[in-house]
A and B are shown apart, each in its own frame.
Chain A
Amino acid sequence: MAEENTQPSYPTREEVDFVIVGSGAAGGVMAKELSVAGFSVVVLEQGPHLQAADFKHDEWGYDVNKDLTWGARQGYPQTFRKSVDHETETRESVLDYAHNVGGSSVHFSGNFWRFRPIDFMEASVRGPISGTNFADWPITYDELEPYYTKVDWEVGVSGLAGPWDPPRSREYPCPPMPVKSSDVLLERAAKQMGLTPYPAPVAILSQPHNGRPGCIHCGFCNGYGCEVNAKSSSMASMIPLALDSGNCELRIGCTVSRVNTDENGRANEVVYWEEDGTEQAQLAKAVVLCANGAETPRLLLASESEQYPNGLANSSGVVGTNLMFNGYSTAVGLFDDPVNAHKSVPATRVLHDFYELDPSLGFYGGGGIDARHFSAGRPMNMALAGGLLGDGPTWGSEYKKNLRKEFTHTAAFDGHTTSLPLATNTVTLDPNVQDKWGRAAMRTTYSDHPDDISTMKFFYDKTIELLDVAGATKSAGFYAEEGQEGNVHLLGTCRMGNDPTNSVVDRFNRSHDVENLFMVDGSSLVTSGRGQPTMTIMALAFRAADNIIQFARRGEI
């Protein structure tokens, strides 16, 4: 089913230039770039086209009913096991993402950290890490920098350039967001400890830009859609331009089942179900998969054929492996005066003094620290967690009395850290469990590397120390000591590389095996970065689009 207004209506049995699977962070960018360049584009999106007017401060709807992120409740169970030697369990969800036009860029926190030069060449600098697929990227920071700048200006990022930044060719289009109390507490404590807090770069407009308004500080960014289009999702920033081009047809409620190939092994057709179950197949000259780091490998594996018995584009055997989340820690502190961290955007200051931990600590890792509201500004979630601080009565008068303090007088200092790529951390097709369409459910096999856990602990300890210096009277916190069992950052599963025996796409996000098939989304990442990967995903999409357009015009696809 296609949107109304000025969209073309391409017949399914006639080739379009490009079919793009997924309209998220990468898919939205790709759709805009290719359609504005004059190519005929069909975007297939499984979710609805929710827009600013559709979003509400509805915790019950979004957090309990999973209206955006979907799960077993909506017919999409997933399974999980820590390793092939562990039992597999069916879960409500494991790999979480928003199912709607714009994908997870609709519900993200908006924190946009560029990778730094070291991220692209860390294996060379630090040396290999045994038991992992720790590797360099096939590109450098300098090659991606112009595209990070494109993201800044075309998608819309607010920040302040300074010595804390990786090299940048242009300033930010919008100034940083006004500082919050939670960040004042972080900044003062950090400065006392000799650290360098700086304004957090965010994909949220601090003032009008590109025809979209500035943020109104409502506090419902993370996990929610922006009600005024100030948050720079691909839905708000890219899709409208794609639709205005007159070349892009956005088909929503379309669930892709497989990508087919012709007798020459080229991708030629994308098969999908419409909402009512009708099966369609769109012919295409080229296919771009932007379905995210969980769904893209799943689709490739499900597209196996006689020509591609291990799954499409998987001669390396690497599709679905090297699954990386980012690590995470949180420490909540109680303060004497109102913090009100529930107002405005999640984070307005960040520290990257621990971007690379000293190897003499004995483990690999690094990350960033920012300050947030413990329950992301949500009253119901806070109340459900009530009793977190102090002796923790979880019901009754004492509990009730503590609620107001816990909601308004706390700040959470969060650590966002690295994940190592392991061949044993994978997304595969579950042999037993299916979703509502009869597709094999996604099975996640995942255990954090010990270094990842050591890194999370380092950041947890550091944030507790920062809270103490900041003057918190009580604190409580958490990091995944026993390892994570799911995430919203879905990375690494179709990694870029120069060597077709251990990577899935080349330096231009083109499949090594199938010359007219491209994959660009979180699956492309070679290393996890220090958290907040979406900016890098969008930059990769701009770069891939730039090159795909050139290949197409030269007849090289």
Chain B
Amino acid sequence: MINTQLSRRAFLRSASGAAKSSIIVLSLPAILVSCERSKQANLGSEEFSVLSEEEVLEFQAIAARIIPTDETPGATEAGVIYFIDNVLADDREVEHETLRLGLRELQVAAALSFNASYFHELELEQQDQLLTEIDGTPFFGTIRFLTIAGMFSLPEYGGNRDNIGYELIGFEDRHAWQPPFGSYDADYAERGE
């Protein structure tokens, strides 16, 4: 059995500490209000509250590398970008500006490395290369946090469309279960242990 004892920093970074590497701080009633607002504003059409068209394309592209569409749906299909829009729409102009700056820097890197104006224009391998270079920065940490939160939070927050995220991770948001819960307790029951 391969065992890795994690340093405190690594453990906390990967667990609840992931939230700490993000610049986003929220309050529940406010996010629900902005969800309501965006629902009303949309009236069935898929418009965004605060994200510009360029930001939608760029952030969606980054999210699509974090949770790609491959044999199974990814961040794009789950509508993570709507979650991100809802979060930033809630009086988050300061945080939004920080993300704009981070995006500009990423676009500068795209231009210098690959002569491209936009991140989303790059080949996927090129995108991954640039993201690997900024892995660990607050900008990437925030987008990763928002992508994952958008993927696996309750759909009422705008992401996890049709429970795509839950299906991906093998979670059913059923409120009641009965045993057997997994293979080992089924086997245990069968053997009368």
Contacts and interface: CB of A to CB of B under 8 A. Distances in A.
Partners in one complex: yes
Contact of B3 (A387, A388, A464): A464
Contacts of B185: 178-181, 183-184
Given A216-B175, A396-B128, A478 B181 contact: no
Interface string B157-174: 100000001101111011
B18 to A, nearest CB: 4
B149 interface: yes
B170 A217 contact: no
A205 B104 CA distance: 55
Interface stretch (A51-59, A257-265, A316-324): A51-59
A515 interface: no
Contacts of B135: 394-395
Interface stretch (B51-59, B60-68, B114-122): B60-68
Given A64-B26, A477-B6, A394 B144 contact: yes
B182 A180 contact: yes
Nearest to B147: A395
B181 to A, nearest CB: 4
B181 A180 contact: yes
Interface string B1-38: 11111101001001110110000011110010000000
Given A218-B174, A379-B166, A474-B2, A56 B18 contact: no
Contacts of A478: 5-6, 8, 11
A343 B181 contact: yes
Contacts of B128: 396
A219 to B, nearest CB: 7
Contact of B177 (A59, A63, A343): A343
A337 B175 contact: no
B187 interface: yes
Nearest to A405: B170
A396 B66 contact: yes
Contact of A473 (B1, B11, B28, B179): B1
Nearest to B145: A384
Contacts of A183: 185
Contact of B171 (A388, A407, A473): A407
A56 B156 CA distance: 12
A298 interface: no
Contacts of B8: 478, 480-482
Contacts of A396: 65-66, 68, 128
B169 A383 contact: yes
A16 interface: no
A242 interface: no
B84 interface: no
B152 interface: yes
Nearest to B171: A379
Contact of A400 (B168, B171, B173): B168
A340 B182 contact: yes
Given A179-B188, A464-B3, A384 B19 contact: yes
Contacts of B193: 184, 187
B6 A408 contact: no
Contacts of B15: 375, 381, 384-385, 388
Q: For the side of the interface on B, what is the size category?
A: 35 or more
A60 B83 CA distance: 12
Given A65-B26, A478-B11, A57 B182 contact: no
A65 B168 contact: no
A35 to B, nearest CB: 33
Contacts of A64: 19, 26, 149
B154 A57 contact: yes
A17 B151 CA distance: 53
Contacts of A59: 152-154
B33 to A, nearest CB: 13
A472 B177 CA distance: 25
B178 interface: yes
A339 to B, nearest CB: 5
A185 B187 CA distance: 11
A404 B170 contact: yes
A215 to B, nearest CB: 9
A397 B70 contact: yes
Interface in A199-234: 216-219, 227
A73 interface: yes
A447 to B, nearest CB: 14
Contacts of A375: 15
Contact of B181 (A340, A392, A395, A397): A340
Contacts of A543: none
B45 interface: no
B148 interface: yes
Given A59-B152, A397-B70, A217 B177 contact: yes
A128 interface: no
Given A397-B70, A404-B169, A384 B18 contact: yes
Q: Which 3 residue pairs of A and B lie closest in terms of their CB atoms, listed nearest first?
A: A181-B182, A181-B184, A337-B183
23 contacts: A60-B153, A67-B28, A73-B27, A178-B181, A181-B183, A184-B185, A187-B193, A217-B178, A337-B183, A340-B181, A343-B182, A383-B148, A383-B152, A388-B14, A397-B70, A403-B168, A403-B169, A407-B169, A460-B5, A472-B1, A478-B5, A478-B6, A478-B8
